[in-house]
Amino acid sequence: MSQSCFADCLFILFGATGDLSKRKLIPALYKLIEDKKLCHFAIIGAALEPVDKLQVLEQSKPFIQNLNSAVWDTLVQNFYYFPMDFYHGTMYNNLRPLVAEVERKHNLSGNRILYFATMPQHFPTITKFLLESTLVQAKQSGSPWTRLVYEKPFGEDLASSQALNNFLRQAFAEEQIFRIDHYLGKELVGNIALARFTNRIFEPLWNKDHIESVHISIKETLGVEQRGAYYDEYGQLKDMVQSHMLQLLALTAMESPGELTAHNIRNAKAAVLANVNVDQVLQGQYEGYRTEPRVNPASTTDTFTAIRLFVDNQRWQGIPFYLLTGKALDRKETTIEIRFKMAKCPLTACPSEPNALIFKIYPDDGIYLRLNAKLPGIAYEVAPVSMDFCHSCLFGPNTPEAYETLLADVMKGDQAAFIRADEVEMSWRIIATIIAQQPVLHSYKRGSQGPAALSSFYLPRKEES
Ligand code: BG6
């Protein structure tokens, strides 16, 4: 076995016929086989549909680039499909002999990853039956190991996430539980803390004395497509803000964790989430949303949410953080913009744009610094210019997809890019305070920048005194 191979392991993938498995998880497993990280393994996909394994795998083919037939054959030979109703306890007892047979056939040592790519309301039931059928071992430490990976959203609200955490806590050690948010596996998200803490020029300015505001946005052009049944229950607030956006906020605003270990990073993020104070919320729904497939024709679900909040600690007192996310907008773009205060200006024609540090997570991944520089030939006039670190120009386009990185982390047992129980509960608490404000739902046009009311959402800029 090559040095770079991970420890042997059996994956059991619940929700194997779903959108996430098709588009992301199976292609990520394929890539890990191609990269010779996953060498000694088997995968059992489980879902309700009475299909066969080739039908499950074939639907992932369009999402795999430059498909190599030898790698594909390896995936096929190591893949099994088990149709099951997650709510029938006997099905888990029927799954057990297949697990034993597959582990024997592939000579696996008993390491297991249970991946919950299902709706969150199924998590407790599946977990309970797995325990009862002894397919997973409670509080297991050492080898062989059992790790459980729960997709986001983890729970549906504060109460359900607490109940799920309490249940899992009784059965498993926190080291066995991986609450996944794929944003934490994105290259540029991994760069936020590294850029800040490994460059002397940023950290001294990372506070209320120098920063005017922070803008985190995740804009999407797609509507809900075929996901109406799930999405209409959650909306943008629970689907995007609860995890992706609050995690980006926590990573941007956290204190230095010292060494970048899982324990330290999660402590630092939790401290931010504990101090969030939501000021204003603006929500919207795109025109035509109510006629999307499997959406309630009278739905009041938000497809757009903008939030102004403060982080009440010494570093950030009084500095607004703006979170904005929406579906069916004019562009697909994810950015974090740290907008600095205006410099004292010694010119008669002063710059109108403040300096900004922008993490571009999508598209044109990179880090951009907006500066003011002299216009050629004209005495003492400046214009905004950008210093660019274009990630793909320097490192090429083939950086790992988020799910590859995160699956690799699960296999290594590294939890730094996964969310801890307290973080998830604090995030749901923030969501509860937003819902309690009963924000008005504004309508907006598909392909626009969101509701017109957005223009009055931003606080006026403060000049350097
Ligand atoms: C998912 C949400 O977690 O993230 C989707 O459930 C959303 O609604 C998606 O479209 C966006 O991910 P990305 O990586 O394309 O920005």
Helix axis angle for 89-105 and 123-132, nearest 10°, is 70
Q: Are residues 223 and 125 located together in one domain of the fold?
A: no
Q: What is the pLDDT of residues 37-94, one digit of tens each?
A: 999 999 999 999 999 999 999 999 999 999 999 999 999 999 999 999 999 999 999 9
Kindly state if the Cβ of 151 falls inside 6 Å of ligand 1.
no
The domain tally of the chain equals 2
Instruction: With respect to residue 92, please indicate whether it lies within any of the assigned structural domains.
Output: yes
Distance from the alpha carbon of residue 384 to the mean position of ligand 1, in angstroms: 32
Which range (155-164, 335-344, 347-356, 456-465) has the least confidence?
Answer: 456-465
pLDDT at residue 462, rounded to an integer? 59
Atom of ligand 1 nearest to the CA of 222: 10
- Is a pLDDT exceeding 70 seen at residue 178? yes
Atom of ligand 1 nearest to the CA of 152: 3
Instruction: With respect to residue 166, please indicate whether it lies within any of the assigned structural domains.
Output: no
Instruction: With respect to residue 178, please indicate whether it lies within any of the assigned structural domains.
Output: no
**Average of pLDDT values for 226-243?**
95
Pairwise CA distance, residues 365 & 387, whole Å? 14
Atom of ligand 1 nearest to the CA of 186: 14
Place of tokens 């009084």: 318
Distance from the alpha carbon of residue 182 to the mean position of ligand 1, in angstroms: 8
pLDDT at residue 374, rounded to an integer? 87
**Average of pLDDT values for 392-399?**
82
The rounded mean pLDDT for the chain is 94
Q: Are residues 331 and 434 located together in one domain of the fold?
A: yes
Q: What is the pLDDT of residues 331-378, one digit of tens each?
A: 999 999 999 999 888 888 788 889 999 999 999 899 999 999 888 887
How does residue 463 score in pLDDT terms, banded at 50, 70 and 90?
Answer: low
Kindly state if the Cβ of 239 falls inside 6 Å of ligand 1.
yes
Place of tokens 């009311």: 453
Instruction: With respect to residue 171, please indicate whether it lies within any of the assigned structural domains.
Output: no
Which range (128-132, 328-332, 371-375) has the least confidence?
Answer: 371-375
Q: Are residues 234 and 375 located together in one domain of the fold?
A: yes
Residue 229 φ/ψ, nearest 5 degrees: -60, -45
Alpha-carbon dihedral angle through residues 178, 179, 183, 185, given to the nearest 10 degrees: 0
Specify the residue with its C-alpha closest to ligand 1, atom 8. Answer: 239
Instruction: With respect to residue 449, please indicate whether it lies within any of the assigned structural domains.
Output: yes
Specify the residue with its C-alpha closest to ligand 1, atom 13. Answer: 183
Kindly state if the Cβ of 401 falls inside 6 Å of ligand 1.
no
Kindly state if the Cβ of 220 falls inside 6 Å of ligand 1.
yes
pLDDT at residue 213, rounded to an integer? 97
Q: What is the pLDDT of residues 241-297, one digit of tens each?
A: 999 999 999 999 999 999 989 999 999 999 999 999 999 999 999 999 999 999 999
pTM of the model: 0.95
Q: Are residues 145 and 189 located together in one domain of the fold?
A: no
Q: Are residues 144 and 222 located together in one domain of the fold?
A: no
3-state helix, strand, coil in the chain (%, to 5): 40, 25, 40
Distance from the alpha carbon of residue 260 to the mean position of ligand 1, in angstroms: 26
Distance from the alpha carbon of residue 239 to the mean position of ligand 1, in angstroms: 8
Place of tokens 């703006």: 322
Pairwise CA distance, residues 308 & 278, whole Å? 6
pLDDT at residue 465, rounded to an integer? 44
What is the token pair recorded at 273?
């989430």
The CB-side HSE value for 315 (13 A sphere, CA atoms) comes to 16
Q: How many helices (H) and strands (E) does the chain have?
A: 14, 15
pLDDT at residue 226, rounded to an integer? 87
Q: Are residues 407 and 457 located together in one domain of the fold?
A: yes
Mutate to test the pocket of ligand 1, among 25, 151, 182, 231 (most ligand atoms within 8 A of CB): 182
Instruction: With respect to residue 266, please indicate whether it lies within any of the assigned structural domains.
Output: yes
Pairing assessment for the beta strands 276-286 and 112-116 based on DSSP bridges: unpaired
Mutate to test the pocket of ligand 1, among 236, 239, 334 (most ligand atoms within 8 A of CB): 239
Pairwise CA distance, residues 316 & 211, whole Å? 9
pLDDT at residue 1, rounded to an integer? 46
Pairwise CA distance, residues 427 & 27, whole Å? 30
pLDDT at residue 145, rounded to an integer? 95
Atom of ligand 1 nearest to the CA of 224: 8
Which of 151, 176, 196 marks a domain boundary? 151
Picking from 177, 127, 144, 176, the residue whose alpha carbon sits closest to that of residue 10 is 144
pLDDT at residue 461, rounded to an integer? 67
Residue 433 sits in a domain of what CATH number?
A: 3.30.360.10
Q: Are 135 and 217 in contact (CB under 8 A)?
A: no
Q: Are residues 238 and 143 located together in one domain of the fold?
A: no
How does residue 322 score in pLDDT terms, banded at 50, 70 and 90?
Answer: very high
Instruction: With respect to residue 174, please indicate whether it lies within any of the assigned structural domains.
Output: no
Neighbours of 397 (CB within 10 A): 8
Q: What is the pLDDT of residues 419-428, one digit of tens each?
A: 999 999 999 9
Distance from the alpha carbon of residue 85 to the mean position of ligand 1, in angstroms: 27
Instruction: With respect to residue 169, please indicate whether it lies within any of the assigned structural domains.
Output: no
Specify the residue with its C-alpha closest to ligand 1, atom 4. Answer: 240
Mutate to test the pocket of ligand 1, among 220, 237, 245, 295 (most ligand atoms within 8 A of CB): 220
Pairwise CA distance, residues 293 & 83, whole Å? 26
Q: Are residues 111 and 239 located together in one domain of the fold?
A: no
pLDDT at residue 320, rounded to an integer? 97
Q: Are residues 51 and 199 located together in one domain of the fold?
A: no
Q: Are residues 249 and 350 located together in one domain of the fold?
A: yes
The CB-side HSE value for 448 (13 A sphere, CA atoms) comes to 17
Pairwise CA distance, residues 64 & 313, whole Å? 45
Q: Are residues 310 and 445 located together in one domain of the fold?
A: yes
Residue 40 sits in a domain of what CATH number?
A: 3.40.50.720
Query: Is 329 in a helix, a strand, or coil?
Result: strand
Which of 133, 151, 169 marks a domain boundary? 151
Containing domain of residue 32, as a range? Answer: 9-151
Distance from the alpha carbon of residue 218 to the mean position of ligand 1, in angstroms: 9
Distance from the alpha carbon of residue 395 to the mean position of ligand 1, in angstroms: 24
Distance from the alpha carbon of residue 172 to the mean position of ligand 1, in angstroms: 29
Atom of ligand 1 nearest to the CA of 239: 6
Any bridge partners for residue 11, and if so which? 43, 113
Which of 135, 151, 167 marks a domain boundary? 151
Specify the residue with its C-alpha closest to ligand 1, atom 14. Answer: 183
- Which residues are tagged catalytic? 244
Q: Are residues 193 and 305 located together in one domain of the fold?
A: yes
Mutate to test the pocket of ligand 1, among 244, 304, 361 (most ligand atoms within 8 A of CB): 244
Atom of ligand 1 nearest to the CA of 243: 3
